[in-house]
């Protein structure tokens, strides 16, 4: 069987499926990465990684016989495609309906925070309802204004769902889109001041790291709710903790954090934030697509067939 270097930790069932089809070398388990690579570099023709971790030039250059990189996931931001082009390496991924799953989670977090669902759940489970009413009214979505940070594929999916709840949709980004009816802002603070809810959908880039500052949170205001389904680094996390603690904003729903999986204790102790462990694409249907397509790309390549999901294929 072909030798494959697995550099990212994948779900156990997915690793087992790779093992059924290839001789896998688990770099992510190695204590000495350099020594591990040196021991397998002359036989590895393929790398498997994920869209979050990707791969870098140093890894590619350390593998002289590398021919294909199969990315488990749809994300491309962490991939050094320049070195793949230079080395004429095939790069594939596993396109799926991730944008829908992430958008659904964004709306779920918004609903949960706005309608106080987790608080109400704990209230009933505690038995308190038998002796008192749940006297903490939530916020409805109908007629409210939802500001979306970045109207890319995920942002558009969020916008469609927000509109279905009959919310007014605004968006911030580097440029205006001519094919949408939503109001455009080139200043995120200005958009936040006109929004009831702020949903972050942007990629992590130098221009977006720390984009959501204390000033933006103040602009969102004491009735505002922040939802982050983008990346933790987009938000000034200490500023968010202070804003939640001081009721500068009403609540937040977070799927991502600055130093995952290490979530600050101060954030975990707050009662006006909903925290989930980066589960935006963690649905059974998406995982099955990734499991099968990651292997299918490799099998097609090694059998001389066109890869099902090309990201980069060198020209003949």
Catalytic residues: 231, 260, 278
Displacement of CA 266 from its chain's centroid (Å): 23
Identify whether the C-beta of residue 48 lies closer than 8 Å to the C-beta of residue 296: no
| DSSP secondary structure letter of residue 306 | P
Name the nearest CA neighbour of 54 among 84, 99, 30.
84
Identify whether the C-beta of residue 73 lies closer than 8 Å to the C-beta of residue 50: yes
For 61, the token pair is 């250059």
Between CA 235 and CA 265 the distance in angstroms is 17
Between CA 293 and CA 289 the distance in angstroms is 6
Environment class of 226 (CB within 10 Å of its CB; exposed 0-12, middle 13-18, buried 19+) = buried
Identify whether the C-beta of residue 112 lies closer than 8 Å to the C-beta of residue 135: no
């Amino acid at each position: 069987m072909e030798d494959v270097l697995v550099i990212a930790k994948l779900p156990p069932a997915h690793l087992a499926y790779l093992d059924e089809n290839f001789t896998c070398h688990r770099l992510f388990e190695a204590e000495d990465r350099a020594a591990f690579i040196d021991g397998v570099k002359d036989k590895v023709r393929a790398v498997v990684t994920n869209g979050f971790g990707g791969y870098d030039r140093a890894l590619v250059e350390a593998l002289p016989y590398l021919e294909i990189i199969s990315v488990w996931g749809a994300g491309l931001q962490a991939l050094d495609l320049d070195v793949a082009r230079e080395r004429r390496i095939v790069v594939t991924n596993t396109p799926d309906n991730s944008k829908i799953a992430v958008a659904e989670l964004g709306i779920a977090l918004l609903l949960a925070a706005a309608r106080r669902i987790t608080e109400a759940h704990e209230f009933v489970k505690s038995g308190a309802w038998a002796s008192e009413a749940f006297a903490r009214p939530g916020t409805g979505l109908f007629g409210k204004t939802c500001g979306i940070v970045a109207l890319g594929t995920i942002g558009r999916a969020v916008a469609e769902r927000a509109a279905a709840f009959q919310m007014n949709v605004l968006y911030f980004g580097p440029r205006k889109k001519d094919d949408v009816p939503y109001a455009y802002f080139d200043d995120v603070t200005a958009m936040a001041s006109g929004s009831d809810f702020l949903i972050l959908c942007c990629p992590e880039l130098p221009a977006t790291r720390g984009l959501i500052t204390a000033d933006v949170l103040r602009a969102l205001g004491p009735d505002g709710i922040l939802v982050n389904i983008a990346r933790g680094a987009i938000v000034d996390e200490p500023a968010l903790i202070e804003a939640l603690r001081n009721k500068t904003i009403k609540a937040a729903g977070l799927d991502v954090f600055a130093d995952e999986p290490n979530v600050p204790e101060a954030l975990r102790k707050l009662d006006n934030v909903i925290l989930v462990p980066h589960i935006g694409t963690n649905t059974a249907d998406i995982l099955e697509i990734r499991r099968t397509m990651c292997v299918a790309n490799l099998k097609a390549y090694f059998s001389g067939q066109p890869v099902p999901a090309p990201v980069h294929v060198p020209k003949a």
